[in-house]
């Protein structure tokens, strides 16, 4: 282990979580504008988002293997550059066919970086020797909120999608990569080889993966459909609709910054159960109202509820008594983040067949399932 301070270690990993969230938030904030630019209906947009999800899921196992063999930090930094370039390609695509290709690449780089940076986060947590996973995920939410806020500004000032994506993406990449390189942490564990090509959770980890899936389905839907729900139900402008995901992300940031302390105070299972209740309440509020303020409040409650679940799931996976941490985290990531990326196209298909409100009702059902499965995040004894 190189002699870096705990603060430098935390800042390095946090910078990559901020970058990952910011680039995705930039994309999410301009989805309505992108749909209008290419004249997409809900079904067509859902198909494009499915390609994004497919690219990510295909990249999960490859990213895990390379992270195990070459080092999570090494792989994360390189994928971050490719991820930034992929965002620019989505903005430059002149037609739907090339947009589909660009979104598949964007999804692949997003998913690959997600697996690699969470593996790096696990290494950093062991180095720091105290729970910090929730704070890393807070930085992802902070980045996503800042990215979404940049979309609000771009809409207000009439900035084109290509200029917005390239300028904002380059700026955040340069700043965060500089911080990450300064605080680089060398992994302490032995390199792992011979892992399954497509690792999936087994045994008790299946329930951990399911609770992660329910949570990430909600997060993914908020990324891509929250703005459109506000436009449909509250009749607001695209600029004001872009604030929906910002409110959700800010709520997640604040909650995740407190998440490690809350979990230590109440324990994993009670924390997860309360979170499920809050998320359910928020989802019901969002779909039952036509008020801009009430819907934003519902989004905020959903952010509070979802905030701690994924960190709890990753911490539980890292402590699994039957699998090494890297394999366990990769398996939960495959199922959990599959929900993050499969949620948007699923909501799109439901919206196309019924209404967007009906699609969001699925999130309320899944949030109640979190309450039922809360016991899965309790650490097992050998």
Hey, how many other C-beta atoms are within 10 angstroms of the C-beta on 230? 25
The CA radius of gyration of the chain, in Å to the nearest whole number, is 19
User: What confidence tier does 141 reach under pLDDT thresholds 50, 70, 90?
Assistant: confident
Q: Which domain holds residue 44?
A: 6-185+198-377
Neighbour tally for 174: CB within 10 Å:
11
Judge whether 121 lies within some domain: yes
Determine, yes or no, domain membership for 190.
Answer: no
Answer yes or no: is 248 within a domain. yes
Could you tell me the sign of the dihedral formed by the alpha carbons of 20, 184, 311, 307, in that order?
Answer: negative
d(CA 345, CA 333): 19
**pTM for the model:** 0.79
- Pairwise CA distance, residues 316 & 244, whole Å: 31
In a domain, 192, yes or no: no
Q: Does residue 108 carry a pLDDT above 80?
A: yes
Is 205 a domain residue? yes
Least confident of 10-24, 159-173, 355-369: 355-369
Q: Is residue 1 part of a domain?
A: no
Q: Is residue 382 part of a domain?
A: no
Instruction: Examine the pLDDT at 77 and tell me if it is beyond 90.
Output: yes
Give the mean model confidence (pLDDT) for residues 268-272.
Answer: 93
Residue 342 domain flag: yes
Residue 76's domain is classified under what CATH number?
1.20.1250.20
More confident residue, 381 or 80: 80
Number of domains composing the chain: 1
């Amino acid at each position: 282990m190189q002699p870096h301070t705990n603060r430098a270690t935390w800042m390095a990993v946090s910078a990559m979580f901020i970058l990952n969230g910011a680039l995705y938030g930039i994309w999410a904030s301009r989805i309505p504008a992108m749909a209008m630019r290419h004249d997409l209906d809900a079904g067509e947009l859902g198909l494009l988002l499915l390609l994004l999800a497919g690219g990510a899921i295909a990249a999960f196992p490859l990213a895990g293997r390379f992270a195990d063999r070459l080092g999570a930090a090494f792989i994360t930094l390189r994928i971050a550059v490719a991820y930034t370039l992929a965002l620019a390609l989505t903005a430059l695509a002149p037609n739907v066919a090339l947009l589909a290709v660009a979104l598949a690449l964007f999804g692949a780089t997003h998913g690959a970086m997600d697996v690699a940076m969470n593996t790096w986060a696990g290494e950093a947590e062991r180095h720091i020797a105290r729970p910090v996973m929730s704070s890393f995920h807070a930085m992802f939410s902070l980045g996503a909120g800042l990215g979404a806020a940049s979309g609000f500004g771009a809409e207000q000032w009439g900035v084109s999608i290509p200029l917005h994506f390239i300028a904002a993406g380059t700026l955040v990449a340069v700043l965060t990569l500089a911080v990450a390189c300064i605080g680089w942490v060398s992994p302490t564990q032995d390199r792992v080889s011979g892992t399954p090509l497509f690792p999936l959770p087994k045994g008790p980890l299946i329930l951990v993966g399911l609770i992660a899936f329910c949570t990430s389905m909600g997060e993914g839907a908020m990324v891509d459909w929250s703005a459109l729900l506000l436009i449909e139900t509250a009749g607001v402008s695209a600029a004001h609709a872009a604030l929906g995901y910002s409110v959700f992300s800010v709520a997640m940031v604040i909650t995740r910054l407190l998440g490690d302390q809350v979990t230590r105070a109440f324990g994993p299972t009670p924390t997860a159960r309360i979170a499920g209740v809050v998320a359910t309440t928020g989802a019901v509020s969002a779909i039952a109202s036509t008020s801009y303020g009430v819907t934003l409040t519902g989004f905020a409650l959903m952010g509070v509820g979802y905030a701690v679940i994924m960190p709890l799931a990753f911490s539980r996976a890292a402590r699994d008594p039957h699998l090494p941490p890297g394999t366990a985290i990769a398996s939960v990531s495959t199922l959990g983040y599959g929900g993050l990326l499969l949620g948007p196209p699923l909501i799109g298909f439901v919206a196309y067949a019924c209404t967007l409100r009906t699609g969001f009702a699925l999130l309320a059902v899944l949030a109640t399932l979190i309450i039922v499965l809360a016991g899965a995040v309790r650490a097992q004894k050998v």
